[in-house]
Amino acid sequence: MLAALPRRAASAMPSCASAFSAAARCRAYSSAAKPTLGFIGLGQMGYPMAANLARHTAQTHSLLVHDHDAATAARFAAAHPQSASVAESARAIAERADVLFTMLPAGKHCRSVYADIVEGLRHDALCVDCSTIDVATATEIAKWVKAKGAKIVDAPVSGGTGAATAGTLTFMVGGTAADADTARPFLEKMGKNIYHCGANGTGQAAKICNNMMLGICMVGVSEAFTLGKNLGLAPTLLNQILNTSSGRSWCTDTYNPVPGINPNVPASKSYAGGFGVALMSKDMGLATAAASQTQTPIVLGAAAEQVYKRVAAEKDCKGKDFSVVYQWMAAAGEK
Ligand code: NAD
């Protein structure tokens, strides 16, 4: 599959803009014979995902990266000198990439990036949008891209920053079977479970269902630990019991919201990093909007959305991982 990707002669390479550093320009030309991958959005998730992509494709592909935050893009290129270089804009990536990944916060960011790059996309290029966004925006962007003769799949992920770093993400792919097959070898560099869900937008549908469950579960786990504490139970003991009982979940055994229970999760690092509470609030909003469009009753999903909206607006919780809902709840329930 990789060999089937279009290869371009060095002479066909567009000239690098002056914003490129001499070193980056040199790298870009030295890898001119290789097919080009692009990655736009190097945040909590995008950075480690692109790092795995760079690591596993360094021999076969060059990688162009871009982020609103130029310092992050420069840091990424410096960390992957063999294959990665910074593009001066998202559009510059579109003009050169054979396969282009986007990992952006929300639908409005995807809309604005794709509106900007769609005219520049190479014929037959494949776009892989890994952001979590609403189904309607995903299908609309897919129409724009396909109208230009390029291809696109939505491929949102589950697993968090730990799985993004370990390369063990789950991808939920929406698009044609052929486009999903083209994306698969690249997704395998970043994840270990790849599901083709159906047409464009169905990857987002699966992701929205998953995150609604996760959001509800984290609120439930936080309530259980707050109640347990107020009943005099030590959190570590309660956690041992839950993890060998029917209350066990990913939120108890892997991503526990109580500081100190799981090492290396945001809760044990003052809730820094991870999956921002504002992003969870956004995803719960996607779920409640999808539920009202399909007239699906989601009592717990709607209640959890209200909780995350309040937590995301709290000064002490802003910018923190969504498991900070436990800290917020524990403070409210303090005796
Ligand atoms: P983030 O806010 O950390 O990263 C987003 C990045 O996109 C930032 O670096 C930002 O500078 C960049 N960006 C924004 N607009 C841009 C633009 N127009 N052009 C270029 N760069 C731009 O978010 P994240 O946590 O990495 O999440 C990204 C997506 O993945 C979201 O849709 C989120 O819901 C989803 N997600 C996150 C997690 C997680 O644990 N963090 C897990 C699964 C899915």
Is residue 46 within 6 Å of ligand 1 at its C-beta? yes
**What per-residue confidence (pLDDT) applies to 335?**
53
The reply to whether ligand 1 has any atom less than 6 angstroms from the CB of 75 is no
Rama region for 124: left / alpha / beta (φ>0; ψ in -120 to 50; rest): left
Query: Residue 139 in contact with residue 200, Cβ under 8 Å?
Result: yes
Strands 169-174 and 157-158 come out as antiparallel
Percent over 90 (pLDDT), the chain: 87
pLDDT band at 160 (very low <50, low <70, confident <90, very high): confident
Annotated catalytic residue, options 151, 189, 192, 207? 207
Instruction: Compute the average pLDDT of residues 195-199.
Output: 98
Q: Where in the chain is the domain with CATH 3.40.50.720?
A: 17-200
Helix (H) or strand (E) holding 180: helix 177-187
Give the domain 206-334 fold: N-(1-d-carboxylethyl)-l-norvaline Dehydrogenase; domain 2 (1.10.1040)
Interval 212-262: pLDDT, tens: 999 999 999 999 999 999 999 999 999 999 999 999 999 999 999 999 999
pLDDT at 30: 45
Q: Is 272's pLDDT higher than 60?
A: yes
Neighbouring CB atoms inside 10 A of 56's CB total: 17
Asked if residue 137 has its Cβ within 6 Å of ligand 1, the reply is no
Q: What is the CATH number of domain 17-200?
A: 3.40.50.720
Alpha-carbon distances of 63 from 80, 105, 326, rounded to whole Å: 9, 21, 39
Residue extent(s) of CATH 1.10.1040.10 domains in the chain? 206-334
33 falls in which pLDDT band (50, 70, 90)?
Answer: low
| Exposure string for 180-205, b = 16+ CB within 10 A, e = fewer | bebbbebbeebbeebebbbebbbbbb
C-alpha span between 241 and 118 (Å, rounded): 53
- Model confidence pLDDT, tens digit, residues 273-325: 999 999 999 999 999 999 999 999 999 999 999 999 999 999 999 999 999 99
Whole-angstrom Cα distance, residue 104 to residue 67? 9
What's the pLDDT band for 333 if we cut at 50, 70, 90?
low
Q: pTM value?
A: 0.88
Interhelix angle 277-293/299-313, rounded to 10 degrees, is 150
Catalytic-residue membership of 207: yes
126 three-class SS = strand
Distance CA 54, CA 80 (A): 7
Question: Which helix (H) or strand (E) element contains residue 213?
Answer: helix 202-230
Residue 23's pLDDT is: 42
What pLDDT sits at residue 332?
A: 84
Q: For residue 142, name the pLDDT band (cuts at 50, 70, 90).
A: very high
For 10-26, the pLDDT digits (tens) are 333 333 333 344 344 44
For ligand 1, mutation pick of 279, 283, 308 (most atoms within 8 Å of CB): 279
Q: Report the pLDDT value the prediction gives residue 80, as an integer from 0 to 100.
A: 98
| Residue whose C-alpha is closest to residue 199's, from 227, 218, 179 | 179
CA 59 to each of CA 83, 97, 113: distance values in angstroms, whole numbers, following the listed order: 8, 16, 29
